Chain A
Amino acid sequence: GDSVTQMEGPVTLSEEAFLTINCTYTATGYPSLFWYVQYPGEGLQLLLKATKADDKGSNKGFEATYRKETTSFHLEKGSVQVSDSAVYFCALKLSLSTDKLIFGTGTRLQVFP
């Protein structure tokens, strides 16, 4: 069935390090892909999205490119900050005509000074 697979956490980095959080998906058709972020004690917020192959979503220094050939949507940031510590969720929506989101299990990022 349709699903999203994320790398296990926690990911522990020092401030200013490069971040990659892997996300791969299985889906029929042409899904839209999302990254949501959950800061401690809060709900999820949309971080970025991409709706078709080769699109690059970006926000707050984070980027992810929709790679249809590898069914991936890896999240990257060139220089992380302590304030980026959060749980990151990859998600997909099977088509533009549906509102159903399928989430990955989440990856916790811990950034230390």
Chain B
Amino acid sequence: DAGITQSPRHKVTETGTPVTLRCHQTENHRYMYWYRQDPGHGLRLIHYSYGVKDTDKGEVSDGYSVSRSKTEDFLLTLESATSSQTSVYFCAISEFPAGDYNEQFFGPGTRLTVL
């Protein structure tokens, strides 16, 4: 299994509070991704990173920011959490972003509840 951990695994917070989720990898893969998983929507890409300090927006980036100061860590921040951000958040990594050998490896997920 790819070495990907996410913390915390579960979090309950209140509307308006800041929240930071952490993804940590031990594979030294260059590419990292944050997704959210919601019933009826599957997985949707929030933000992704092509390397240290190199990030870009995905499909549903509003209300989220990311940072990547080290290869192994990719942080997802909700500056002011809203109930619509209640979801399960998955981090993924890949070594080769494209081509026949591309595969994304997923972390175990973080369940976030915003009250």
Contact = CB atoms under 8 A, between A and B. Distances in A.
A52 B41 CA distance: 26
Interface residues of B, number: 25
Interface in A69-107: 89, 93, 95-101, 103-106
Contacts of B115: none
B94 to A, nearest CB: 6
Contacts of B44: 103
B42 A96 contact: no
Interface residues of A, number: 21
Contacts of A99: 31, 48, 94, 97-98, 102, 104
10 contacts: A4-B42, A41-B108, A43-B107, A43-B108, A44-B90, A97-B99, A99-B97, A99-B102, A100-B45, A105-B40
Interface of B: 4, 31, 39-45, 48, 58, 90, 92, 94, 97-100, 102-104, 106-109
